[in-house]
């Protein structure tokens, strides 16, 4: 049997093993510390960031105002029916989107009732003409009869004078004298009756003339209603809508179609009221659509509203655009457009790209350090400035004037802080990362 070690001896052996392990660990630590490489001094340029900048200097600018409007056709027409009738004929090419010319047939209504009205009115007019002719004949006959009656009165009066002379001499009786007087009275009575009949022809003629004039109007109205059954286009253009069908009964005033002409368009552009002193009739205005900004149209300010809208603080400028309807890139009614008007006068101002302003501040690179500067925008521009050397189209005109040659960061970043070292690169779009 092996002898059993005592407890104090076991504790001593374990302590020696632990001390040996600690000694080996300390030796390894000292060996690693003595052999580690010495660090090189850090290069300050390693933390310098490259930023894209441009040299700001005053440039001539012309103030711009922008507004929005919906385009409408200046030449447009709703084509109604002016009589009550049914649709008798509808051309096959009368459909929405088809071009039409002025006077082209859109629909033919049933005009049989109006043809009959023309015939009846014409016959009544002929009857009145016959009555006027009869009055003319009666007037000629009564005029001759009146002349004869006047001669008869003269003869009767002469006979009465002879009988009266004979009666005075006793050569004629009282009976002869009375008979001569009755003959004069009878002749005068006949003359008065003829003159009365002749005088009554005047009012009758005027009455017939008045009736004839009214009947002529009835004939013209019947013919007009007959012609109104032929519905034609009032202008050259394109059919926007056709709202009737063959055989449909229409009432006077019902809309048949709508025609628009795309050659002349108008947009009631709503501009800020502050632009009123700077705009005038005849100024050129550029229009762009929201979905096709590569397409532009140039119009002119034809009219300016005399009052401002107090609710929106805007004024309306009516822009007219003339275009060739055969082109594919044309304005059409209902399009929502943005209009830009440029003032004629120019002045030198400091401008920066709109993206260079963040939280009303711009970043300036000065002596290799970043410095932020608060700025305020006077107005915005949409144009190019080749003299600045950036391809941007959207610029902000500042109230403040920047010193010529000031290096402004093109795209500010949240990681760029005041006092940070940077390496400015003129007119380049560089990544905002530390150089390696």
CATH of the domain at 407: 2.40.420.20
- Same domain for 330 and 390, yes or no, is no
- Same domain for 307 and 411, yes or no, is no
Q: Return d(Cα 186, Cα 398) in angstroms, integer.
A: 116
Q: Return d(Cα 318, Cα 74) in angstroms, integer.
A: 11
- Segment 285-306 mean pLDDT: 84
- Same domain for 363 and 333, yes or no, is no
- Same domain for 278 and 382, yes or no, is no
- Is 72 part of a structural domain of the chain? no
* pLDDT attached to residue 305: 92
**Percent of the chain at pLDDT above 70?**
93
- Same domain for 215 and 281, yes or no, is no
Residue 216 has pLDDT above 70, yes or no: yes
Q: ∠ CA 304-306-308 to the nearest 5 degrees?
A: 95
Range of the domain at 315: 261-342
Q: Report residue 291's pLDDT band, with 50, 70 and 90 as the boundaries.
A: low
CATH number of the domain that residue 329 is part of: 2.40.30.170
Residue 436 has pLDDT above 50, yes or no: no
* pLDDT attached to residue 11: 78
- Same domain for 221 and 326, yes or no, is no
Q: Return d(Cα 424, Cα 284) in angstroms, integer.
A: 40
Mean pLDDT, all residues of the chain: 85
Specify whether the backbone of 97 is left (phi greater than 0), alpha (psi in -120 to 50) or beta: left
- Segment 172-185 mean pLDDT: 84
Count the neighbouring beta carbons within 10 Å of the beta carbon of residue 270: 19
Q: Return d(Cα 411, Cα 434) in angstroms, integer.
A: 16
| Number of domains making up the chain | 3
Q: What are phi and psi of 320, to 5 degrees?
A: -105, 135
* pLDDT attached to residue 40: 59
Q: Return d(Cα 377, Cα 396) in angstroms, integer.
A: 6
- Is 42 part of a structural domain of the chain? no
- Same domain for 190 and 289, yes or no, is no
- Segment 278-305 mean pLDDT: 84
* pLDDT attached to residue 47: 64
Buried b (16+ CB within 10 A) or exposed e, 37-71: eeeeeeeeeeeebbbbbbebeebebebbbbbebeb
Q: Of the candidates 309, 342, 375, which is a domain's last residue? A: 342
- Same domain for 420 and 331, yes or no, is no
- Segment 216-235 mean pLDDT: 93
- Is 199 part of a structural domain of the chain? yes
pLDDT tens readout for residues 5-34: 567 777 778 788 888 888 888 888 887 777
Helices (H), 289-381: none
Q: Return d(Cα 161, Cα 334) in angstroms, integer.
A: 101
- Same domain for 276 and 328, yes or no, is yes
Note the residue count of the chain.
Answer: 436
Tell how strand 422-426 and strand 49-56 pair up.
Answer: parallel
- Same domain for 123 and 221, yes or no, is yes
* pLDDT attached to residue 87: 94
- Is 91 part of a structural domain of the chain? no
- Same domain for 329 and 364, yes or no, is no
Q: List 75's β-bridge partners, or say none.
A: 261
- Is 43 part of a structural domain of the chain? no
Checking 113-120 for CB contacts under 8 A at 24+ apart, the result is: 113/85, 114/83, 114/85, 114/222, 114/225, 114/226, 114/229, 115/226, 117/222, 117/225, 117/226, 118/219, 118/222, 118/223, 118/226, 120/222
Q: Of the candidates 288, 315, 342, which is a domain's last residue? A: 342
- Is 127 part of a structural domain of the chain? yes
- Same domain for 338 and 359, yes or no, is no
- Segment 196-203 mean pLDDT: 84
């Amino acid at each position: 049997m092996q002898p059993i070690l005592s407890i104090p001896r076991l504790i001593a052996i374990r302590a020696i093993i632990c001390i040996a392990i600690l000694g080996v660990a300390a030796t390894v630590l000292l060996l690693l510390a003595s052999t580690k490489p010495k660090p090189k001094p850090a290069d300050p340029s390693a933390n310098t960031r490259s930023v894209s900048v441009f040299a700001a200097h005053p440039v001539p600018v012309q103030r711009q105002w922008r507004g929005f409007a919906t385009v409408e056709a200046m030449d447009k027409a709703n084509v109604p029916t002016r009589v009550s009738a049914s649709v008798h004929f509808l051309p096959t090419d009368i459909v929405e989107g088809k071009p039409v010319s002025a006077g082209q047939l859109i629909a033919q209504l049933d005009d049989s009732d109006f043809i009959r009205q023309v015939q009846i009115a014409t016959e009544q007019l002929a009857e009145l003409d016959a009555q006027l002719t009869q009055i003319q004949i009666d007037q000629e006959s009564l005029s001759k009869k009146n002349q004869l009656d006047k001669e008869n009165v003269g003869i009767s009066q002469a006979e009465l004078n002879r009988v009266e002379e004979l009666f005075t001499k006793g050569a004629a009786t009282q009976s002869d004298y009375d008979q001569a007087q009755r003959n004069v009275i009878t002749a005068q009575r006949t003359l008065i009756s003829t003159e009365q009949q002749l005088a009554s022809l005047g009012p009758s003629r005027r009455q017939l003339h008045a009736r004839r004039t009214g009947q002529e109007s009835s004939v013209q109205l019947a013919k007009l209603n007959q012609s109104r059954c032929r519905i034609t286009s009032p202008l050259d253009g394109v059919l926007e809508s056709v709202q009737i069908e063959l055989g449909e009964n229409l009432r006077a005033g019902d809309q048949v179609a709508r025609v628009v002409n795309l050659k002349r368009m108008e947009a009631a552009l709503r501009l800020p009221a502050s632009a009123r002193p700077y705009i005038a009739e005849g100024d050129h205005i550029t229009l762009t659509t929201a979905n096709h900004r590569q397409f532009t149209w140039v119009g002119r300010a034809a009219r300016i509203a005399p009052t401002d809208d107090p609710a929106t603080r805007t004024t309306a400028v009516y822009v007219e655009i003339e275009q060739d309807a055969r082109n594919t890139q044309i304005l059409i009614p209902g399009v929502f457009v943005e209009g830009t008007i440029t003032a004629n006068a120019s002045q030198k101002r400091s401008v920066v790209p709109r993206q260079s302003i963040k939280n009303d501040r711009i970043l300036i690179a000065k002596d290799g350090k970043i410095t932020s500067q608060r700025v305020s925008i006077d107005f915005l521009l949409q144009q190019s400035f080749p003299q600045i050397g950036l391809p941007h189209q959207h610029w902000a005109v500042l109230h403040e004037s920047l010193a010529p040659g000031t290096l402004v960061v093109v795209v500010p970043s949240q990681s760029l802080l005041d006092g940070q070292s940077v390496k400015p690169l003129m007119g380049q779009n560089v990544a905002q990362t530390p150089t390696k």
